[in-house]
A and B are shown apart, each in its own frame.
Chain A
């Protein structure tokens, strides 16, 4: 499971929160108000096993998350979960892809250094020979207006 975040990794003033994941485990996260802008022209790509363990990341993923590739591979994808994200969003994500459909949504992600970045994510099941062998998420740069809508909406969801 993922370990608690530690102050040595954090850049800037931070707050603390304890996240409880859907598998019942919890983690102490430290987060700041520093936003890393989404780089123009890039896609952030990752693939997970059927149970959400990261199995592949591209370079943009490593750069934006602040973790090394070695720290990411084998970790559950909720390593990026930000306390401002409502659980309902991820429940919808999992319900949708487990039905074999495509999910799209705006996600605020937590960096290793406590900062955050917004993405527009599309998640699909990877079907090989009729079987789901994993899931892939491709993120692109979101528009400011869509992010502002989410900033207003997400605190009203649980």
Chain B
């Protein structure tokens, strides 16, 4: 039997080759046939999840609740010490110095990454901005959000903090951070579906020892972090509750 692994589209582009190398490594360690399927958009990913095609997923926190409660997924591990944070950025020359200065019909650029957008919109709430009174500018990726700001096509941009930090120095010099979230309890997680769950403990063990493995350490570097860290079931439940409070 072959299993299907996928990675939430928001993380895929930056470390695409890393995920393929990771999948090869994982197949070897687990002696399971695992196929990595990448989806470019959330819509395609959600269709695959709905059709029960996925067995292993590096999931956006936004999808975690649905995966656990409706699809019987369980958490394995998360990237050690990493969490999802969002940044509200403006053009460096913008006269906006505080979120509270923003007015209705502000042009807001963001990507379809649902947790970053959620965190970003919460940071705009102090100005009474919400989905119903902004001019949204849906962008294909975080670099394009930055470009909308540079060209003056958007007043503020919502960007995944890690993606912002990885923007080129030339771009960053022309931008200014208005707010950086410090939430620290929302993160992507590697989760395992019902068909593979009899191997959950094995997978967890393999992954937690990955940084000590000769090849494993290099694979982790290609993914952009140093080691995996176990997610307890209660930790996942807590994050799901937290996302639930933010989702209103």
Contacts and interface: CB of A to CB of B under 8 A. Distances in A.
B178 to A, nearest CB: 8
A136 B182 CA distance: 18
Task: Determine which residue in A40, A102, A124, A128 has the highest number of CB atoms from chain B within 10 A of its CB, and name it.
Answer: A40
B241 A141 contact: no
Chain B contact residues: over half helix, strand or loop, or mixed?
helix
Interface in A35-80: 38, 40-43, 45, 47, 58, 60
A122 interface: yes
Nearest to A58: B185
A140 interface: yes
Interface string A97-134: 00000101000000000000000101110101000000
Contacts of B127: 143
Given A40-B99, A42-B183, A58-B185, A124 B123 contact: no
Interface string B79-100: 0000000000000000000011
A22 B196 CA distance: 50
A141 B125 contact: yes
A141 B244 CA distance: 17
Interface string B231-248: 000100110011011101
B102 to A, nearest CB: 10
A145 B128 contact: yes
Interface in B112-171: 122-123, 125-128
A144 interface: yes
Contacts of B182: 41-42, 60
Given A38-B126, A140-B122, 13 more contacts: A40-B126, A40-B179, A42-B182, A102-B245, A123-B245, A126-B238, A128-B234, A138-B242, A138-B245, A141-B125, A141-B126, A142-B125, A144-B100
